[in-house]
């Protein structure tokens, strides 16, 4: 019986590959959903080549027109078969529609960054998965279900607990460690993992660069700044470039970049990146530090960010308070 993976980000593909190894799965079908970020789509294209999929189904969401009829046809196409495992991450209309209509034995949510924490706390724990918008209820007119009945389990590297009839299965990234951890070389570089906090409206630009200023002043090592795949490199950031500060656009998930280039990083600094959770498992000896953003500086989603900080604190990494 086939297994179905529905992904729309590079990290989701990495976690899908880990799930294949962990659950010893064969006959795996990949549904890859493209979005409006070209860099994200290019990274996904690279990652899907790491595994020989039984079938790859491409969905393009870059178009802005209504996808109502497209989603209906796609759901009817996939629901013709029964599946053993189904893995997903996002909770958009197409994901919910597939979850409500596809027959399978096992259903697992795989990590998609720190969104896992907010979805676990705000949707799954309080049992709010079956809350629908009017747009989603339209699919009833096409003879499709919208109510999700299955127990959804988690394959995750976050420290979560079982709830109701759902269980937590720990993702320790063993597959990538086994595949790449040979002849690793430790360097002396400080890596700053950039984030799109300013462009997404979470943080004022001045505060973001106040944090970068402090790191630059304190660091005795060369700094390599790795922009997030959705981050726009501003002229303000370009002003830091010198023999001791480099902006390095890696065009792949940072975890895979270090592994493929045999780098055992000396130090990693960032804000609220999911990479802390993955890299901590891969590189336990690396010095890591997170930049704490005080509540009064966060412009939106304050609760979700605070919940993320609580999880980061459990990693026992250094806290940088710039206030």
Q: pLDDT digits over 225-269, tens only?
A: 999 988 888 899 999 999 999 999 998 889 989 988 999 999 999
The verdict on 25 and 136 lying in the same domain is: yes
The verdict on 186 and 310 lying in the same domain is: yes
The whole model's pTM is what? 0.87
The verdict on 196 and 165 lying in the same domain is: no
The angle subtended at Cα 194 by Cα 188 and Cα 199, nearest 5°, is 165
The verdict on 163 and 195 lying in the same domain is: no
The verdict on 166 and 194 lying in the same domain is: no
Query: What's the structural domain count of the chain?
Result: 2
The verdict on 185 and 163 lying in the same domain is: no
C-alpha distances (whole Å) from 296 to each of 232, 239, 293, 313 are 25, 28, 8, 20
Q: Which domain holds residue 25?
A: 2-171
The verdict on 224 and 76 lying in the same domain is: no
Tell me how far apart the alpha carbons of residues 118 and 163 are, in angstroms, rounded to a whole number: 15
298-317 burial string, b = 16+ CB within 10 Å, else e?
A: beeeeebbebbbebbeeeeb
The verdict on 35 and 107 lying in the same domain is: yes
The verdict on 114 and 199 lying in the same domain is: no
Tell me how far apart the alpha carbons of residues 321 and 124 are, in angstroms, rounded to a whole number: 32
Residue 54 has pLDDT above 90, yes or no: yes
Residue 84 has pLDDT above 90, yes or no: yes
How does pLDDT run across 90-138, given as a tens digit for each residue? 998 899 999 999 999 999 999 988 889 889 999 999 999 998 888 889 9
Residue 62 has pLDDT above 90, yes or no: no
CB 231 within 8 A of CB 270: no
The verdict on 27 and 153 lying in the same domain is: yes
pLDDT for residue 156: 95
In the structure, what pLDDT confidence band is assigned to residue 36 with cuts at 50, 70 and 90?
Answer: confident
Tell me how far apart the alpha carbons of residues 268 and 172 are, in angstroms, rounded to a whole number: 19
Residue 270 has pLDDT above 90, yes or no: yes
The verdict on 134 and 273 lying in the same domain is: no
Name the E strands within 195-286.
223-226, 245-247, 263-264, 267-270
The verdict on 161 and 270 lying in the same domain is: no
Last residue of a domain, one of 139, 171, 203: 171
How does pLDDT run across 179-213, given as a tens digit for each residue? 888 778 878 999 999 999 998 889 999 999 999 99
Last residue of a domain, one of 107, 139, 171: 171
Could you tell me the CATH number of the domain that includes residue 119?
Answer: 3.40.50
Mean of the per-residue pLDDT values of the chain:
91
Could you tell me the CATH number of the domain that includes residue 276?
Answer: 3.40.50.850
Last residue of a domain, one of 124, 150, 171: 171
């Amino acid at each position: 019986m086939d297994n179905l993976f529905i992904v729309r980000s590079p990290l989701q593909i990495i976690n899908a590959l880990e799930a294949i190894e962990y659950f010893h799965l064969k006959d795996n079908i990949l549904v890859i959903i493209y979005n409006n970020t070209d860099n994200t789509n290019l990274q996904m294209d690279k990652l899907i080549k790491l595994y020989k999929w039984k079938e790859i189904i491409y969905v393009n969401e870059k178009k802005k027109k209504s996808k109502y009829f497209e989603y209906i046809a796609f759901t009817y196409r996939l629901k013709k078969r029964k599946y053993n495992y189904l893995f997903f991450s996002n909770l958009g209309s197409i994901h919910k529609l597939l979850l409500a209509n596809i027959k399978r034995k096992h259903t697992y949510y795989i990590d998609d960054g720190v969104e896992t924490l907010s979805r676990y706390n705000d949707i799954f724990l309080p049992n709010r998965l079956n809350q629908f918008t009017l747009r989603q209820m339209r699919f009833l007119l096409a003879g499709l279900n919208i109510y999700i009945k299955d127990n959804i389990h988690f394959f995750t590297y976050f420290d979560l607990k079982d709830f109701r009839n759902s269980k937590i299965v720990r993702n320790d990234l063993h597959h990538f460690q086994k595949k790449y951890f040979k002849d690793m070389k430790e360097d002396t570089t400080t890596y700053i993992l950039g984030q799109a906090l300013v462009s997404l409206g979470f943080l004022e630009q001045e505060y973001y660069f106040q944090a970068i200023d402090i790191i630059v002043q304190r660091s005795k090592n060369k700094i390599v700044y790795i922009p997030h795949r959705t981050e726009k490199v501003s002229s303000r950031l370009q002003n830091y470039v010198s023999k001791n500060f480099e902006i390095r656009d890696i065009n792949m998930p940072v975890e895979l970049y270090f592994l493929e280039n045999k780098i055992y990083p000396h130090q990693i600094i960032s804000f609220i990146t999911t990479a802390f959770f993955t890299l901590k498992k891969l590189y336990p000896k690396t010095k890591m530090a997170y930049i704490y953003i005080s509540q009064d500086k966060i412009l939106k989603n304050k609760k979700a960010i605070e919940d993320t900080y609580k999880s980061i604190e459990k990693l026992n990494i250094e806290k940088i308070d710039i206030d």
